A = this chain, B = another copy of it.
Amino acid sequence: MKALQDRIKQDGNILTKGVLKVDSFITHQVDPELMEKIGQEFARKFRTQQITKVVTLESSGIAPALYTAQALGVPMIFARKAKSLTMDEELLTSEVYSFTKQITSQISISKKFLHQEDRVLIIDDFLANGQAAKGLAALCQQAGATVCGIGILIEKSFQPGRALLESMELPVYSLARIASLENQQIDFLGDDE
């Protein structure tokens, strides 16, 4: 998606160790207009899949997931990283290992919001090792729901996330695929389709 790739080139910052920082328009300060365009693009891509729920993980996934859900005319659910005080009911839970933080955290969604008949589109901001998307897919599968696809804003294609998800037969659609962050330069792969 050209608008996202252009914005990454313009405002993305490469930190040491190949971390791409997009906190001026996605992960901390958020550009609503760009997020709406991203939501419309995911909706266009998955329009024929009869999606019934868009699922993401708090917090950076919420903005693009919200506009995607709105464009598809369905609710959005954000999985929680910590159990909320008012989450008194039964939960779908799964564990997500973070290679960067080197910790395992539990994520959860209330059972009452995902059911066997649901057709889910998972949205997340980054795809690196694929652990967050894998954990979200596990929550959906616990509910017996069908995961129709995974929409990603920024894929680090030099990391193994896409291969992991595709090996689980989860179709991945990434709007910006980064081949390399070496030499303080952002190289994109060609478009995903």
Contacts and interface: CB of A to CB of B under 8 A. Distances in A.
Contacts of A77: 28-30
Nearest to A22: B86
A67 interface: yes
A27 B84 contact: yes
Interface string A17-48: 00101011101111111011000000000000
Contacts of A29: 75-77, 110, 113
Most chain B CB within a 10 A radius of its CB, from A28, A33, A78: A28
A70 B31 CA distance: 8
A56 to B, nearest CB: 10
A154 B63 CA distance: 21
A28 B88 contact: no
A81 B70 CA distance: 27
Determine chain A's interface SS by DSSP, over half rule.
mixed
B66 A32 contact: yes
Given A23-B110, A59-B59, A59-B78, A28 B85 contact: no
Contact of A85 (B69, B80, B101): B101
Interface string A104-133: 000001101100000000000000000000
A64 B109 CA distance: 20
A52 to B, nearest CB: 12
A8 B77 CA distance: 18
